[in-house]
Structure 1
Amino acid sequence: MTYPTDIRFGVRELDNAQGCLHLQTPDFDYDSFADVAQALITVLGASVVEKEANADLHIWLIDFEGCRMMLKGEHYSSAMWLELLSRDDGDTLAFLAGWLKNLTQ
C-alpha cells in the first residue's frame, strides 16, 4: 500500500514538561486514522512497532532512530500527538518539533 506524500503535518505545541509533541494534521476519523498516521510515520522515517485501537483512541508504539515513543490519535477531536516513553529522549522530541516546523515553512 502506498500513502499520500502530499499530506502536511505541523506543530501545535511542544510540551517538554509532559514529553508531548502536539501535531497539526489533516482531519481524521476512526477509520482514516491509520492512513494519516502512516503518512506521518513515512515522513518521519520511523517504523511502527505495535498498534492498539480503543473506542476513541489509537495508540501506536513507534521507533524513530532508536527512540521509542507513542503516537496517539483521538478521533473525536482529530488530535494527534507524540508522547515520549522516557524523559531522557526530550532532545529527540525537540528535534522532531523543529524539523516538522521547517517542513511547513
Structure 2
Amino acid sequence: MTSSGFAPSSSLESQSLYGCRRLDLAGRVLEIDAPAFDFDSFAEVATPLLHGLGMTVLSQELNADLHVWLVDFEGCQLLLKGEHYSGLLWLEGLADSEETLAYLAQQLAQVIIR
C-alpha cells in the first residue's frame, strides 16, 4: 500500500479497506464498510476515503460521539458521518443527491478505494 492509503492496482481485491455496506436511496443514506476507528482516529479513516472518491471537505463538526463533515462531490453536498461507539461510517445526501449516492455506492462496490 502506498502512503496515500491506496493499493497498487495489482492487488486491488486483496487490499480493499472501504466498501458499500448498504445503499438506501429513499433515505439518502450510503453506509460504508471502513477500517475501525475511534474518537481520535476518525480523520485517519475518513481522509483517505474522501481523497479516493475525489471529495472536498467544506466544514467539520464534532459532537460528543459523532463526527459530521460537510463534503462536496462534483457540486453535490453530502454529510459524512462517523459514530465511533458503533463504528459506523455513512454518507447522507442533501437535496437531489440520490444519483450521486448511487454513483458513489457503485464506486465503492468496485473496490477502487483502498
TM-score (norm 1): 0.91
- Separation in structure 1 between the aligned mates of residue 55 and residue 27 of structure 2, nearest angstrom: 21
Residues 28-37 or 5-14, more deviating:
5-14
1:1-105 aligned at under 5 Å gives the runs: 3-6=4-7, 8-86=17-95, 88-103=96-111
Aligned counterparts of 1:49 and 1:41: Cα–Cα separation in 2: 12
How far is 1:5 from its partner?
A: 2.6
In structure 2, runs of 5+ residues without a counterpart are 8-15
In the alignment of these two chains, the number of paired residues is 102
Sequence identity (%): 49
Following superposition, the deviation at residue 98 of structure 1 comes to 0.7
Measured in 2, the distance between the counterparts of 1:3 and 1:25 equals 16
Secondary structure class of the residue paired with 2:5: coil
TM-score normalised by L of structure 2? 0.84
- Where relative contact order (Cα < 8 A, 6+ residues apart) is larger, the structure is 2
8 Å Cα contact 1:48-1:62 kept in structure 2: yes
